[in-house]
Amino acid sequence: MGRKPRKNDSLPGSLDMLILRTLSLRSLHGYGIVQFIQQSSDDQLLVEEGSLYPALQRLELNGWIDGVWGVTPNHRRARIYKITEAGRQQLDLEARKYAKLTLAIARVMGAQ
């Protein structure tokens, strides 16, 4: 591993959004979520694995995701998380906020 993948700490709170986005595409277990984020960011984003579980608990407490014990595609027993309707709404909200923020940052960075 020559390059050091960037840890997800530049935008606090964005881990929740990434998890919701991932689960909006398909239901996954914890490790699956880490892998998905890593792969789909082209290894640019590395989820701090220890932080994942508190984040999952927080999302579950808020009623945005729902975890059920089941079996992964490669036949392992795991707790599979599924996004709820409230979770989709929350994702919409956070995606909009995020778009605004990145736009604003881009404007600042683009200014001469």
Partner 1 sequence: MKVFRRLKYWFDSSRRGESLGEEIEIHLAEKAAELEADGMTAERARAEARRRFGNVGLKREESREIWMTRALSELVQDVRYAWRAMAANKAFSALAILSLALGIGANTAIYSLMESILLRSLPVADPESLVVVNWRSRPPQNANRQWEHVIHGVQGILWPGDKGVLVSGMFPYRAFELFRQDNPVFSTVFGYFNGRSRTLAVHGQATSVNTEYVTGEYFHGLAVSPAAGRLIESDDDRPGAAPVAVISFAASQNRFGGAPAAIGQSILVNNAPFTVIGVAPPEFFGVDPAAAPDLYLPLRANVLVDGAGAARMYDDENFYWIEMMGRLRPGVSMAQAQAVLEPRFHQWVASTARTDGERARLPALMLNPGDAGLGGLRREYSKPLYVLLAMVGLILAITCVNIANLLLARAAARRREMAIRLSLGAGRFRVVRQLLTECVVLASLGGAFGVLFAIWGVRWLTYLFSNGRENFTLRAELNWQVLGATAALTVACGLLFGLAPALQSTRPDVLPTLKNVRGGGPRRRAQHVLVIAQVAMSFLILVAAGLFVRTLDKLHNVQLGYARDNILLFSLNARQAGHRDPEIVTFYTELRKRFESVPGVSSATLSQSSIINAGHAGKTYRGAMKIGAVPVTGARVMVAGPRFLTTMRIPVLAGREIDDRDHTGSTPVAVISELLARTYFGNENPVGRRITFVDDNRDLEIVGVSANLRNGGLKQESPMTVFIAVTQFSPEGMTYALHTAGDPLSYVNSVQEIVREADSRIPVTNVITQAAEIDRTISRERMFAKLCTGFAVLALLTACVGLYGTTSYSVARQVGEIGIRMALGARRSAVVWMVLRRVVLLAAIGLAIGAPAALIGFRLVKSLLFETQPNDPGALAAAGVVLLGAAVLAGYAPARRASRIDPLVALRHE
Which residues contact partner 1 by CB under 8 A? 29-31, 48-51, 53-54, 56-58, 60-63, 69, 76-79
> What minimum distance in Å lies between the beta carbon of 86 and partner 1?
9
Please work out, in degrees rounded to the nearest 5, the angle formed at the alpha carbon of residue 89 by the alpha carbons of 105 and 77.
Answer: 105
Residue 67: CB minimum distance to partner 1, A: 8
* Shortest distance in whole angstroms from residue 24 CB to partner 1: 21
Helix (H) / strand (E) containing 85:
helix 85-110
Of 30 and 87, which CB lies nearer to partner 1 in the complex structure? Answer: 30
Q: From start to end of the chain, where are the E strands?
A: 6-7, 28-29, 45-46, 65-71, 77-83
